[in-house]
């Protein structure tokens, strides 16, 4: 974890952030000693934690904790928590804290949109505020200071549980099996940015320049990862090929590849207006559904055949 830049922060906040940095380093040392191929927590840039009485400090801390536990280290965190019941005694606290980080981050990322679908998340966040002695929503300097301290204290407790679990794992007689299973899960983990790069490559190969690869992966990544859980592969290269195959299969569905023929395309080829434009567009969509591998040029040629009486002469 990078050093935190602090402005007017009180001593308690500084002390707790430094404690988190120390535990994170200790966890990485333990993990590297046990499994040299894995670093538990990747370095995550942390934004400025300004005056702990301000709401911006809380929001930055929420974003950082989400990044620490959920992004590059999500596989490691999930794997360890699955073993906490056996090696620490209880995983309920850890699961609750991770849900809190996720809910708080989601709530404050979308609060300005007032999306009613977030009501369940909003209720969970307000309950967390209440449990920590703050009447929701927090609206003064003391509230934010209390919540900052709660986040930091919960993080320290969660990190200590992870550290203890790792120490117990290293002494377990089945550790070699645990290590192998962990490495397989880590190998099968493909972050969204890698999946997006694969999707861009596939779209370029099929000349599908109208596809938003980022949106495609955002929509289909959970399906791809679910299939990977039971996938068999010989090496990293064969795994990459398999992942690209999954992406291609997700891509080539009618929902994911829109008809490439636009209204402007129709007007540039046909002498039509109003209702006739809609009829040709509907035919283009039907042809696209019949064969989603057809590009714009092929579809227009078929439309010119079907509506030859309307062609611009």
- pLDDT tens readout for residues 77-101: 989 998 888 887 778 999 999 999 9
Q: What are phi and psi of 44, to 5 degrees?
A: -120, 125
Residues 152 and 75 in one domain: yes
For the chain, the farthest-separated pair of C-alpha atoms sits apart, in whole angstroms, at: 82
Residues 17 and 155 in one domain: yes
- Looking at the domain assignment, is residue 176 inside a domain? yes
CB 147 within 8 A of CB 10: no
Give the number of other Cβ atoms within 10 Å of residue 243's Cβ: 21
Q: Which pTM does this prediction carry?
A: 0.68
Taking 80 as the threshold, does the pLDDT of residue 313 lie above it?
no
So what's the pLDDT on residue 113? Answer: 56
- Looking at the domain assignment, is residue 121 inside a domain? yes
- Looking at the domain assignment, is residue 6 inside a domain? no
- Looking at the domain assignment, is residue 96 inside a domain? yes
Residues 120 and 230 in one domain: no
Among 160, 187, 214, the domain-final residue is 187
Residues 51 and 143 in one domain: yes
Residues 156 and 271 in one domain: no
What pLDDT, in 10s, does the model give residues 138-192?
888 888 888 988 999 999 999 999 999 999 988 888 889 989 989 888 888 888 8
Query: Where does the pLDDT of residue 7 fall: very low under 50, low under 70, confident under 90, or very high at 90 and above?
Result: very low
What pLDDT, in 10s, does the model give residues 207-228?
777 678 888 888 888 889 888 8
CB 164 within 8 A of CB 88: yes
- Looking at the domain assignment, is residue 133 inside a domain? yes
How deeply is 213 buried, as exposed, middle or buried, from its count of CB atoms within 10 A (0-12, 13-18, 19+)? buried
CB 67 within 8 A of CB 44: yes
Taking 70 as the threshold, does the pLDDT of residue 309 lie above it?
yes
CB burial string 8-30: b at 16+ within 10 A, e below:
ebeeebeebbebbeebbeebbeb
DSSP 6: B
Give the number of other Cβ atoms within 10 Å of residue 237's Cβ: 9
Q: Whole-angstrom Cα distance, residue 71 to residue 81?
A: 15
Residues 201 and 225 in one domain: yes
CB 68 within 8 A of CB 23: no
Residues 53 and 125 in one domain: yes
Residues 209 and 175 in one domain: no
- Looking at the domain assignment, is residue 4 inside a domain? no
- Looking at the domain assignment, is residue 279 inside a domain? yes
- Looking at the domain assignment, is residue 1 inside a domain? no
Q: Which two tokens stand for residue 63?
A: 């974003």
Query: In angstroms, what CA-CA distances link 164 with 60, 167, 175?
Result: 27, 5, 15
Range of the domain at 279: 263-310
Residues 199 and 174 in one domain: no
């Amino acid at each position: 974890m990078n050093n935190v830049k602090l402005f007017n922060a009180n001593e308690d906040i500084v002390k707790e952030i430094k404690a988190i940095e120390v535990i994170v380093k200790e966890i990485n040392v333990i993990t590297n000693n046990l499994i040299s191929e894995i670093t538990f927590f990747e370095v995550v840039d942390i934004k400025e934690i300004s005056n702990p009485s301000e709401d911006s400090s809380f929001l930055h801390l929420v974003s950082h904790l989400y990044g620490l536990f959920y992004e590059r280290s999500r596989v490691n965190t999930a794997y360890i928590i699955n073993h906490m019941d056996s090696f620490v005694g209880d995983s309920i606290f850890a699961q609750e804290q991770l849900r809190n980080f996720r809910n708080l981050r989601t709530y404050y990322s979308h609060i300005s949109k007032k999306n009613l679908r977030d009501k369940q998340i909003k209720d969970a966040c307000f309950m967390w505020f209440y449990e920590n002695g703050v009447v929701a929503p927090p609206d003064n300097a003391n509230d934010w200071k209390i919540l900052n301290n709660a986040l930091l204290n919960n993080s320290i407790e969660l990190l200590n549980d992870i550290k203890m679990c790792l120490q117990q794992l290293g002494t377990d007689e089945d550790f070699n099996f645990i290590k192998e299973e962990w490495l397989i899960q880590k190998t099968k983990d493909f972050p969204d940015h890698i999946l997006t790069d694969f999707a861009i490559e596939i779209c370029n190969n099929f000349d599908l320049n109208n596809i938003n690869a980022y949106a495609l992966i955002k929509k289909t990544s959970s399906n791809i990862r679910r299939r990977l859980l039971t996938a068999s592969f010989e090496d990293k290269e064969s795994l990459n090929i398999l992942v690209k195959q999954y992406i291609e299969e997700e891509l080539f569905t009618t929902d994911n590849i829109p008809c490439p023929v636009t209204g402007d395309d129709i007007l540039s080829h046909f002498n039509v207006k109003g209702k006739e434009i809609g009829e040709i567009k509907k035919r283009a969509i039907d042809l696209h559904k019949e064969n989603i591998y057809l590009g714009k040029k092929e579809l227009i040629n078929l439309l010119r055949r079907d509506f030859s009486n309307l062609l611009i002469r």
